[in-house]
Chains A and B, each alone.
Chain A
Amino acid sequence: MPKDHGIGASSKRREDVRFLTGKGNYTADITLYGQTYAAFARSNVAHAKIKSIDTSAAEAMPGVLAVFTGADFADVGGNPAGWLIQSRNGETMKEPKRPVLAHGEVCHVGDAYAAVIAETVAQARNAVEALVVDFEELPAVVDMADAVADNSKRARTELTDNICFDWGWIEDNRAAVDAAFASAPHVTTLELVNNRLVPNAMEPRASIGVYDASTEDYKLYTTSQNPHLTRLLVAAFVMGIPEHKLNVIAPDVGGGFGSKIYHYGEEALVLAAAKRIGRPVKWVADRTESFLSDAHGRDHVTKIQLACEKDGTFLAVRTETLANVGAYLSNFSTATPTFLHGTLMAGPYKTPLVYVNVKAVFTNTAPVDAYRGAGRPEATYSLERVIDMAARELNLDPWEVRRKNLITTDMFPYTTPVALQYDTGNYQATLDKLIELSDKAGFEARAAESAKRGKMRGLGLSTWIEACGIAPSALVGALGARVGLFDAATVRVNPTGNISVMVGAHSHGQGHETVFAQVVSSMLGIPEANIDIVHGDTAKIPFGMGSYGSRSLAVCGTAMTKAVDKIIAKGKKIAAHMLEASEGDIEFADGKFSVAGTDKAKTFGEIAFSAYVPHNYPLETLEPGLEETAFYDPANFTYPAGAYSCEVEVDPDTGKVEIMAFTCADDFGNVMNPMIVNGQVHGGVAQGIGQALLENTSYDGNGQLVTASYMDYAMPRADDLPNYTVDHSCNTPCTHNPLGVKGCGEAGAIGSPPAVVNAVIDALARAGKPVKHIDMPLSPARVWAAMNA
């Protein structure tokens, strides 16, 4: 019987009711008394000197209340990169300033250089049109190879070249890796592009700034995955507002996928404007603005090499990557291609030697940062493609080549040559499960049937691993992080025994309000309905680093369980007093504190009541009340892993790829709510298939974004995608958090792109059209061209 409540149950989501009835409360839905509207003037050229901005006509337009330009923010700070990366030569990365509004220079199409505040949106937009800006165009740097080769054109005038850093991981491994390549019996070399993507959460970014002159308090409603991080950045780095004077609220947020981790200039602008005009200021992006100014994802150009024995045993991996960071360093942009990418280049394999080189490159394009998976999809794609190619070159079965090289269960804890320590896993089990669920044995028959219909059928796989639950603060600090990555939770038991749990994680689709309540319910033996999960408001929650990197349950969930443990410990003290027993004899189970070996007991509700009405209470030794907070800093990353397969049919006449089946065998450790975990995998796989077949972000040679709407950027739609077969029965619980959870949010987006591409290459090979590689997205035109080359 599936469980019907608590940990492990597919509890239905409580948040659904408000979303399904139109009662969600997204930032754009909020209207405040006296609210005004901001609109931004954005550059229509990729790179230019701002010679002048004439605001007089705009200021005279109806309804206009204020106009801001970069000069208004010349005295405040810049939006910083969250990680400082050291180059191989020991130099610290370059960090050109990122102002609230571009000042002196616009650096990409969509770069905001002015803002108008007006009574209505239409008035604000009309006035933006009346701004007169004089740009002196500068050469635009768009292509990364050109940016590296030619120092004469620079993405930022303050730079001497376009390379942000040149990072080696691990530099000490390099000589040994090179030696292994020099003597290897077989070397496979693959050059590939990890295509640039736009995250495209369906809710566009939005912010409302509020200022209360009587108390000097600021309030920011914003579309954020991490309100405390936004508060820290806005207050301490950009605006110089005392942190306790800024309340950041991220109400219902319509998807993030990484793009709403970061602080963006629009948030600072609405706060500054609210103060200047003394009224709330609201801004809601339209979709084109989102395309132009949200942080994009991926955009790597990589050369990967795999050295192996003729029997497919891996000897060494070596990569060289150019990673686009755009014109400004977004908050996680320097961590993503380095510590979230290079450290994963061992994959789930025993490869003894690995060396990764990443050059981050400035270009006159929108900033590039973490997008679902963040660095790990790029690592997995490179590795899983080169392994497939090596297997083909050596005439070996790609499934068996993987099996031969997978780390085995007797090897944990396993330290990789790229400095991670995998605590536990069973990669053979997920591979076996995949073979079973994908009916690999029946593939030949299905391929024959496809051939009868004139279609080319192929089967591809990937075996992947990621590092989640970011992150141990001391470790990331040593690697250049400017923040800690712990999390926090407060469990407040109210006098009548129901509970409010304030968590630092933020839910923007993940269902925390349901799942976190399941966990507390199981621990305390009280109904889920009596537990509320509160998140997204810096005034209500103790602290929190928010949700990204599949960290919510592994990090914040652990803080929450620790706070619950403290509640139980205090409850035992109260119970011991009330039951006149010694504390050591009190047991807690199923919502009851009882004296071991007797039928003397107090319910959780009685204990809560006593804590707030302490008439019979050990006041000399114990404070009244029942509320506990815990902060938790993880001891290690968690390591979800799995095996994915994709089965495709390719139309030989058009090159169109159709996904016939997609199968996932995952190890997420213990699963709290299977329904929600499956949903997370579905969504991740959909984004991965989108990357593999449909999505591409394209700048032309002048730096114009030619895919800036849904007319031009191919979002996956219902009829592009299959049903997914998802399994997470092969689980090895994480060894270092009490719930044994690893995280599942990014898995689908990490494991799927190489499975899709490998399947298409397989289909072509089986049809006698051997093609080494096709870069994503595998559009009909690209596939057709490759097979007819």
Chain B
Amino acid sequence: MTQVSMTVNGKAVSGDVEGRTLLVDFLRGGLHLTGTHVGCDTSQCGACVVHVNGIAVKSCTMFASEAAGAEVRTIEGMANKDGSLSVIQAAFQEHHGLQCGFCTPGMVMSAAALLKENPKPTEHEVRAYLEGNICRCTGYHNIVKAIMAASGQDVAAIAAE
């Protein structure tokens, strides 16, 4: 066991981890931030996406110790300061971009990373960017629509909600 310290959602945290402890297990088990999910064991599904120093990372594919000293942001840190839903979160609700909610934290984190990189993505760019996030419920239509809407683009052309 070694001690690891990092900043998570703006708060300094630390805890004991084994060398093999994954970042996602530290967040979920150590910090009880259970919004970050685990949907696979092959780094494919994206349910575990968080931001590490501003970059979208699959937290199931990084050791907790690798994030030592880093700024980590999880879904729990995505709402506005007053607790209201951020633009991306609100767009997911408005456009029914989630059903069971299991993929949703990863989708929101990926969407935020995409829009930071590419503030006005085309629909094709959104779909391509989400290559590493699997959703079994929505068929993606409304996720794509929500992300386009969150980028401030007109989504009327994307057929019925």
A binds B: yes
Residue ranges of A at the interface with B (Cβ–Cβ < 8 Å): 10, 12-13, 15-24, 26, 28-29, 31, 122, 200-204, 252-255, 257, 284, 286-288, 508-511, 674-676, 678-679, 682-687, 709-711, 715-719, 721, 723-727, 748
**A599 CB to closest chain B CB, in angstroms?**
41
B138 touches A683 (CB 8 A): yes
Scan B91-112; emit 1 where CB is below 8 A from any A CB, else 0: 0111010111111110010000
Q: When the two chains form their complex, are residues B139 and A683 in contact, meaning their CB atoms are under 8 A apart? A: yes
A719 and B134 CA atoms in complex are apart in Å by: 11
| Contact in complex: B37, A26 (CB < 8 Å) | yes
| A725 cross-chain contacts in B, Cβ below 8 A | 159-160
The closest CB in chain B to the CB of A29 belongs to B34
Are A709 and B101 in contact, with the CB atoms below 8 A?
Answer: no
On whether A24 and B101 interact (CB within 8 A), knowing A710-B42, A719-B128, the answer reads yes
Contact call B100/A13, Cβ cutoff below 8 A: no
Task: Select from chain A the residue with minimum beta-carbon distance to B74.
Answer: A22
B76 adjacent to A287 (CB under 8 Å): no
Q: B45 an interface residue at 8 Å Cβ cutoff? A: yes
Chain B residues closer than 8 Å to A284, beta-carbon distance: 38
Q: How close is A676's CB to chain B, nearest CB, in angstroms?
A: 7
Residues of A with C-beta under 8 A to B104: 19-20
A22 to B83, CA, bound (A): 12
Q: How far, in whole Å, are A204 and B20 apart by their CA atoms in the complex?
A: 22
Min Cβ gap B48→A in Å is 11
Interface residues of B (CB under 8 A from A): 18, 20, 28-29, 32-42, 44-45, 47, 74-76, 78-79, 85, 89, 92-94, 96, 98-105, 108, 124, 126-128, 130-131, 133-144, 158-161
| A12→B35 contact, CB < 8 A | no
Is A287's CB under 8 angstroms from B99's CB?
Answer: no
Can you list 13 A-B pairs, Cβ within 8 angstroms, ordered by A?
A: A22-B36, A22-B75, A22-B105, A26-B37, A202-B100, A287-B40, A675-B161, A683-B138, A686-B138, A709-B44, A711-B42, A727-B160, A748-B139
| CA A257 to CA B102, docked complex, whole Å | 14
Give Cα A675–Cα B94 distance, bound, in whole angstroms.
Answer: 10
- Report the tally of A-B residue pairs with Cβ distances under 8 A: 193
- Verify B99–A721 contact, CB threshold 8 A: no
A509 to B142: give the CA distance in the assembly, Å.
Answer: 14
With A22-B74, A202-B136: A710-B99 Cβ-Cβ less than 8 Å: no
- In the complex formed, the residue of A with least CB distance to B29 is A31
Point out the residue from B76, B137, B158, B159 that lies within 8 Å of A683, measured CB to CB. B137
Give the contacting residue for B79; candidates A21, A253, A509, A717; CB below 8 A.
Answer: A21
- Which residues of chain A are near B38, meaning CB under 8 Å? 28, 204, 284, 286
Q: How far is the CB of A508 from chain B (nearest CB, A)?
A: 6
Tell me which of B78, B92, B160 contacts A726 (CB under 8 A).
Answer: B160
Cβ contact of B159, chosen from A200, A509, A724, cutoff 8 A:
A724
Residue of B nearest to A689 (CB): B139
Determine if B131 and A687 form an interchain contact, defined as CB atoms under 8 angstroms apart.
no
Name the residue of chain B whose CB is nearest to the CB of A372. B136
> A residues within 8 A CB of B131?
717-719
Chain A contacts for B37, CB-based, 8 A: 26, 28, 202-203, 254
Most buried by B among A255, A674, A676: A255
Alpha-carbon separation in the docked complex, A18 to B89 (Å): 11
Closest residue of B by beta carbon distance from A255: B100
